[in-house]
Chains A and B, each alone.
Chain A
Amino acid sequence: MSHGSVEKCEPNMTPMLDLVLQLVMFFMLCANFLMEDVNPTVRLPSAIQAKPLDKSEEYVIILNVNDKGHLLLGRDKKAETLTNRIQVTNYMKTKHEADENRRKNAEKRGVPEAKLPKYSLIVLRAHENCTFKQVNEILLACQSAGYQDIQLRAKVQTASR
């Protein structure tokens, strides 16, 4: 009894690989790796007039404020918090000193005044459930530390009416 020749049957993997690589590319491009200072537990209020972020700012300090009005110092829920204005003011003063040192170092290197590094832009990401008084305390702390350039962050809402 003679047997027929055994033919190897292989599925064509190439189109599948193409598709998978395209999916990988998509997720790689959409993945946001620049969110290290953003605490995902902070739910922002939404606003139609919220403007797109200016990515040209070199020095940005992102302040996350939870629903109790406490300043969060990390990304997760159990992050350390600063609960009163004095603590926040001291924290912001250290940041301001770092900014000043950066400027002084640039001055020493002979950088002209117009090109000196700017003071950091403060971006305040406050939870929508906190009160204005709590947000105001943080704003006052930033101002007393010497910061004048402060932005309030909101979710961009598409106009419905």
Chain B
Amino acid sequence: MVKRHKYSNTFVEPDLPITPMLDMSFQLLAFFLTTFNPSPIEGHMDMALPKEMGDANSSVVPPPDPTQELPEELTVQVDATEAGAIADIRIGNKTITGQSLGSDSAKMFANLQARRKEIGEKPAKVRLECGDNLSYKLLIKLMDEITRAGFKQVAPALQDDRKKK
């Protein structure tokens, strides 16, 4: 004969131990607090590599398309001091060396903005020729200003020794 269990009607409240869970949560919190390192948001600068920088025999660089419109090319020459600061900026093109704009990059920005308006919608490229000692911080600043002036293709390069002042 099967015995039947009698179920009591008394309600038993389940006891959920909160304290160990809280301990564990505090430990996790402590771990994340100590390892939390809010890093600055990083981005990338668009850059065109000058053709002569690469290996001449490299097959990776495709030949220029003759049907494509050649971009207007400007040359920004930046002389640097021994300490890495900007000594002088000149804006010209492949053949003509531009007038000196001094060491103020704001003048370069204004000049390039005006040139961008002259060029209009035609694609344009800026070759940024810098002195050896120019600090990388200033190079990025100059690239930033050239891009803000409306030139999306900036090719940084070292100044040709003949062009150095």
- Which residues of A does B touch, CB under 8 Å? 13-14, 16-17, 20-21, 23-24, 27-28, 30-32, 35, 38, 40, 44-54, 123, 125-136, 139-140, 143-144, 146, 148, 150-156
Contact = CB atoms under 8 A, between A and B. Distances in A.
Given A131-B135, A146-B58, A50 B130 contact: no
A128 B40 contact: no
Interface of B: 18-19, 21-22, 25-26, 28-29, 32-33, 35-47, 49, 53-55, 58, 60-61, 80, 84, 130-137, 139-141, 143-144, 147-148, 156-158
A17 B21 contact: yes
Contacts, number: 157
A21 B27 CA distance: 11
B60 A146 contact: yes
Given A47-B144, A143-B53, A150-B49, A13 B22 contact: yes
B130 A24 contact: no
Contacts of B133: 131-133
Contacts of A128: 135-137, 140
